[in-house]
Amino acid sequence: MNQAREIKYSTQDIHEEDISEVVGVLRSSMLTQGPEVPKFESTFGEVVGSRNCVAVSSATAGLHLLCLALGVGSGDLVWTSSISFVASANCARYCGAELDFVDIDTESGNLSIDCLERKLISAELSGRLPKGLIVVHLSGLSVDMVEINRLAQKYGFFVIEDASHALGGEYGGELIGTCRYSDAVVFSFHPVKIITTGEGGMITTKDDQLVPVLQRLRSHGVTSDVDLFGPAAKEDLWNYQQVSLGYPYRLTDISAALGRSQLRRLSENLKKRESIALHYFSCLDSEKLILPPTRALLDSAWHLFVVRVVADKVSSSRNQLYQKLWERGIKVNLHYSPIYLHPYWASQGFERGYCPNSEVFFETALSLPMHAKLTDCDLRVITEAVNSLV
Ligand SMILES: *Cc1c(COP(=O)(O)O)cnc(C)c1O
């Protein structure tokens, strides 16, 4: 039976060349703080078009460090999209900030510019504007960053792009990562993402001054820059000093070598994802399912392919469809439950109905398999199963 093989919604794609790069580091004298991290950072910068890259132990660590470096502290207010992985909100919470959520546009699942603008107008009236906004390029499709930048200038908040889904995605003819319309961008290298380092992440920023700050914060707040030591410590001639509170957020050389090797196949990987998206667009029943916006075919990195079930058009609801596909070995997934409905956030006073578009999106969305290892046969099995069940 075809269906005997389990089809995952996402998985890593590791080749022999990746394995030999990792083995090379294991045989070398440095497993961490060696030459691999700076090499990965500079290669990554060349790929996405950023002169400043700081590798970190996860995207979450990167988001946390950026919130710290951009001055988020207790009593500050930070906004993010209600439809994302919880890390997009937790990072500011770690710094003691209060979080608030912006509703989405159901077509893309991305934060809605209209909802953001309306929320800013009323926040200004009530005297409680956010210090920062974390936007999320859901599935790999960019938010409208020109509009985000316009509002950021007008209301004076910083912008971090959570591009965990979006390595290789484009906006305005450039790869995501240049920070043209934001302060910084963060990428994730978790195994389900576009490329992997096991665990890992990368920050890009156009602000040169943030780089040494981020480098120090990812490594316990210690520095070997004697100018930062202060007069007393300078006399000790010790090779490093802790000058601020920092964290154990470095990426290992083992991970960096894997990342640099994975990066070599980025464009191949993106082409494969695009061809899967094209297959879904041409084969799925678009009368009964809402497909992603077609502009995604131009710009998305296709981390996820999210379809939406329309309740009055299909015999089977999203939950039934999910369950029947799992029974056939097609391990579809759900992205995402609105962050504020998770018990932790609900306990801070958020209630059902707070972001209605997000709730509709979550209740109808289904992430179909999307990764570089899917075969033509897998794709036929998936589209036939989905079409026969809706
Ligand atoms: C995966 C993900 C993260 C967290 O990435 P890690 O590297 O696992 O910390 C953050 N935001 C979004 C939108 C994600 O999908």
Quote the ligand 1 centre to 359 CA distance (angstroms).
21
Query: Whole-angstrom Cα distance, residue 254 to residue 23?
Result: 8
For ligand 1, say whether the CB of 85 is within 6 Å of any of its atoms.
Answer: yes
pLDDT of 255 > 50? The answer is yes
Question: Does the Cβ of 60 fall within 6 Å of ligand 1?
Answer: yes
Q: Percent of the chain scored above 90 by pLDDT?
A: 92
At residue 1 the predicted structure's pLDDT band, cuts being 50, 70 and 90, is very low
Q: With 60 as the cut, is the pLDDT of residue 232 above it?
A: no
Mean pLDDT of the chain: 95
Q: Quick check: helix, strand or coil at residue 215? A: helix
Residues 6+ apart with CB under 8 A from 103: 82, 111, 112, 115, 355, 356, 357, 358
Pocket test for ligand 1, best of 60, 99, 186 (most atoms within 8 A of CB): 60
Distance 63 CA to ligand 1 centre (A): 9
In short, whether 168's Cβ falls inside 6 Å of ligand 1 is no
Q: Is the CB of 201 under 6 A from ligand 1?
A: yes
- The least confident of 16-30, 172-186, 252-266, 308-322 is 308-322
301 in contact with ligand 1, CB cutoff 6 A: no
Report pLDDT for 228.
82
What pLDDT sits at residue 3? 47
Rounded to the nearest angstrom, the distance between the alpha carbon of 62 and the centre of ligand 1 is 10
Q: Is 197 in the pocket of ligand 1 (CB under 6 A)?
A: no
DSSP string of 249-277, one letter each residue? -PPPHHHHHHHHHHHHTHHHHHHHHHHHH
40 Cα–ligand 1 center, Å: 19
Q: Hey, what are 6's tokens?
A: 């389990």
Residue 225 C-alpha to ligand 1 middle, in angstroms? 32
**From atom 10 of ligand 1, which residue's Cα is the shortest distance away?**
87
Kindly state the average pLDDT of the residues 165-170.
98
Instruction: Please tell me if the CB atom of residue 137 comes closer than 6 angstroms to any atom of ligand 1.
Output: no
pLDDT greater at residue 376 or residue 312: 376
Residue 236 in this model has a pLDDT that exceeds 90: no
Q: Which of 300, 337, 82 is nearest to 194 (CA)?
A: 300
Asked if residue 162 has its Cβ within 6 Å of ligand 1, the reply is yes
Is residue 305 in contact with ligand 1, taking CB distance under 6 Å?
A: no
Mean pLDDT on 127-150: 98
CB of residue 83 inside a 6 A radius of ligand 1: no
Predicted pLDDT of residue 233: 57
Using a 6 Å cutoff on CB, does residue 261 contact ligand 1? no
3-class secondary structure per residue, 39-103: HHHHHHHHHHCCCCEEEECCHHHHHHHHHHHCCCCCCCEEEEECCCCCHHHHHHHCCCCEEEEEC
Total residues found in the chain within this entry: 390
pLDDT at 230 over 80: no
CB-ligand 1 contact for 136 (6 Å cutoff): yes
Q: pLDDT (tens digit, 9 = 90+) per residue, 36-92?
A: 999 999 999 999 999 999 999 999 999 999 999 999 999 999 999 999 999 999 999
Q: How far is the CA of 267 from the centre of ligand 1 (A)?
A: 21
- Tokens 């109808």 correspond to what residue? 364
* pLDDT tens profile 86-138: 999 999 999 999 999 999 999 999 999 999 999 999 999 999 999 999 999 99
**For residue 189, pLDDT beyond 50:** yes
CB half-sphere exposure, 341, CA atoms < 13 A = 17
Is pLDDT at 174 greater than 70 in this prediction? Answer: yes
